[in-house]
Structure 1
Amino acid sequence: MKKPICSIKLSKKTLIKLLKVIIPLGIGIVLIYYSLSSATEEERAILWKNIKQANPFYIAVSLLFGILSHLSRAWRWQFLLEPMGYKPKLANRFMAVMAAYLANLGIPRSGELLRGALLTTYEEVPFEKAFGTIISERIADFLMLLLVVAIAILLQTDTLLEYLNDQNINPLYTVAFLALAVGGILVGFKIVKNAKSGFLHKIQQFMTGLVEGMRSILNMKHKLAFIAHTLFIWVMYVLMFWVIKFTIPEIADASTGVILAAFVIGSFSISVTNGGIGVYPIAIGALFIFFGYSKQGGEAFGWIVWGSQTLLVLILGALSFLLLPLYNQKK
């Protein structure tokens, strides 16, 4: 009787893992179907025409900006690892970053865990410390996103706030969640900090390393370089988005305020499903409608941005998974 019980437990774990992948992916597919099926044949033809006629030069430039942002992220990571005495190779850091992006397409937010695990595997950086630096990175990136949101709101206050309200998108919820997560880690650390043995002691050791990794941002020798890379990463993000407007004639004259507003909406929508599948182009299309552009032009813009950057992640992420063990075969 014991074997069937074990098999049931195993199947439940497997089912939960599958649901984490299937549900967000399913939502994305349903949204794609709904978006296309609700459009008329003429609207679908215009959408497809916009995508097919997109200038490949600007897509290539956008991909270049994307690669530069990923390289800069891998370079910046060293500034957080160095205060703890670790100097992993740039190639390993870059491949860990790209593999993490690929994992996020399957299970949202799983990439951060994988990224830390890969650095532990190939560079012998303790996982909790590596993961702590990733949390610090995310905090810095979130502050940059808030800055972009603030600029977008200043440039397009009424329209953007109206759109966020209609779509029930509230950036303050994300701020609150982040604050609760960090606060939870600190409270948990205080609870277990006096443990001397047993399971709580193991948790204490893990959380000590996690906090050390997070605090590395305060102990950096190259703070200005870290800030410069952070600014560069986000400038590249905005540029790889902005340059795509030249692939759609209707949107080529869109102002910086409109593009920033679309960038903000895309940034929030990308967390709803696996890598934003389905949601991203629909959200972008809806935003452009608010500014008087056609749904087909807006959604074509969203599909080109999402499709090109997702393809980049698929290629570089898959290559990273393949090359990591080959590059580190001596280990």
Structure 2
Amino acid sequence: MKLSIKQWIQVILSLGVAIWIFWFLYKDISFSDMSEVVEESSILWLGISFLVSIFGFWLRAWRWTLLIDAGEDQNTSSFRAFWALMIGYLANLVVPRAGEVARCGVLKKTENIEMGKLIGTVIMERTIDFLFMLFAISLAFFLERDLFISLFSELVSVDDIVAKINGALPIIIGAIILIIILIVFLFKKYKENSFIKKVRNFTGDLVKGVVSLRKVKNQAGFWSSSAVIWLCYYATMFAVALAIPSTASLTANAVLMVMVMGSIGMTAPVQGGIGTFHALVAFILIRYGLSEEEGKIFAAIIHGSQVVIMIVLGLVALAIFFRITAKGEPKTS
């Protein structure tokens, strides 16, 4: 994937922000202290966290194939979807949000599926994940209501948010209406233009992917796998917590709060959630009685273990991808 100068500037700036946040958080923590905690950690629980995490990745790839094959007479390879997914994760570590496009591009070459449709399925997939994240946040709010309200009031001013939304809403609505009118006008006036035709075809494929959910044959498998994917996130977090002496006594509710804060941190537009994930996870752990250093070290270990998995499997996936494309086998197997 080639990047323009503007995109390279964005990548460098986001990476710079991520590195600065990470440095600011860990400048007072020595490498020897972190190494000591890792040495004291349970290899068994860390190993379990690795296996659960990889299973979660595999399940995500399998769920993706359900969307891709919805309403179609095809059988997309779960193996190839998995390798495409891992290449996407690897790309995300370099360019924020590039992984979604990258994994679609990989699967397009290996399975010969329309790019627009693949992107549509990813949009639907991310929408479902967002709904499950909202459910996790709601569950955390229900179980840890007092702490949640305390954190929210400290981090966000509700009155300010309402005032800003009320002030900007007319402008936003007006801009959306103007954009829609402009798009409709251009599509009608230049409907025979080759570029417009390509955009229409791509949009059609995109819509096909987005609405693929209702055509999924295995609805039970789709929704149960979506739930288990988030359970894998939780189990991975819990396993790492049990592995480290300072966090081994955390309650199930506390781990849920850590997972929620970590998930929010991962949505930041920086490579792999570097910095933002660590800051939010450490922040919430301090509220559960851990020292600032213990919270930051836990965040570094859980995030670092995930990054290691993504890099190793991503590189393996790249090697497999090059081997498949070199043999010229862009068909489902």
Give the structure-1-normalised TM-score. Answer: 0.84
How big is the shift at 1:22?
1.6
Q: Distance in 2 between matches of 1:22 and 1:49?
A: 33
Match of 2:230 among 216, 231, 234: 234
Within 5 A, what are the aligned runs for 1:53-72?
53-72=40-59
Query: Matched residues in 2 for 1:71 and 1:149: separation?
Result: 24
Could you say what secondary structure the match of 2:207 adopts? helix
CA distance in 2, matches of 1:193, 1:111: 30
- The 3 A distance-change label for structure 1 pair 225 and 169 is farther
User: In 2 relative to 1, CA 296–327 (structure 1 residues): closer, same or farther, beyond 3 Å?
Assistant: same
Picking from 281, 286, 309, the partner of 2:306 is 309
Q: What residue in structure 1 maps to residue 288 of structure 2?
A: 291
Q: Which residue of 2 aligns with 1:197?
A: 192
In structure 2, C-alpha distance between the alignment counterparts of 1:169 and 1:283, rounded to whole Å: 18
The one-letter amino acid paired with 2:26 is L
Deviations 1:99-146 (A, max 9, x none): 001111111111111111111111110100111011111111111111
- What pairs with 1:39-78 in structure 2 (closer than 5 Å)? 39=28, 46-78=33-65
- Contact 2:266/2:272 (8 A) holds in 1: yes
Q: Deviations over 1:55-97 (max 9, x none)?
A: 2221111110111011111111121122233322222111100
Which residue number corresponds to residue 6 of structure 1? none
Match of 1:330 among 294, 307, 328: 328
Partner of 2:241: 245
Q: RMSD between aligned alpha carbons? A: 2.8
Q: Deviations over 1:258-297 (max 9, x none)?
A: 1111111111112322102122222211111122221122
Structure 1 position 211 matched with structure 2 position 213: no
- Partner residue, 2:170: none
Give the Cα–Cα distance (whole angstroms) in 2 for the partners of residues 155 and 116 of structure 1: 38
Task: Kindly indicate whether the alpha-carbon contact (under 8 Å) linking 2:59 and 2:225 is maintained by their aligned counterparts in 1.
Answer: yes
The question of whether the paired residues in 2 share the 8 Å contact of 1:47 and 1:297 is answered with: no
Q: In structure 2, what is the Cα distance between the partners aligned to 1:164 and 1:91?
A: 42
1:109 is aligned to 97
**Structure 1: how far apart are the matches of 2:239 and 2:180?**
44
Q: What letter matches 2:38 in structure 1?
A: I
1:151 alignment partner in structure 2 = 139
Distance 1:206-1:78 versus aligned 2 partners, 3 A rule: same
Q: Structure 1 regions of 5+ residues with no counterpart?
A: 1-12
1:80-229 alignment to 2 at 5 Å? 80-82=67-69, 83-168=71-156, 191=184, 196-198=191-193, 199-229=195-225
Q: Which amino acid aligns with 2:192?
A: S
Give the superposition deviation at 1:189.
Answer: 12
Q: Tell me how far apart the structure 1 counterparts of residues 266 and 242 of structure 2 sit (CA, whole Å).
A: 22
Deviations 1:229-259 (A, max 9, x none): 1111111111011111112222211111111
Give the letter for the 2:299 counterpart. G
Give, in whole Å, the separation in 2 of the partners of 1:268 and 1:240: 16
Shift of 1:305: 0.6
Q: Which letter maps to 2:97? A: R
Residue 330 of structure 1 and its aligned partner are, at CA, apart by 3.2
Percent pairwise identity: 25
Quick one: which amino acid aligns to residue 216 of structure 2? M
Question: Which deviates the most, 308-317 or 274-283?
Answer: 274-283
The answer to whether the 8 Å contact 2:110/2:324 transfers is no
C-alpha distance in structure 1 between counterparts of 2:10 and 2:90, whole Å = 15
Is 1:34 matched up with 2:57? no
DSSP-derived class of the 2:213 partner? coil
- Distance in 2 (CA, whole Å) between partners of 1:100 and 1:34 is 28
Instruction: Classify the secondary structure of the residue corresponding to 2:289.
Output: coil
**TM, length-normalised to structure 2:** 0.84
The residue type equivalent to 1:133 in the other structure is T
Q: C-alpha distance in 2, partners of 1:69/1:169?
A: 36
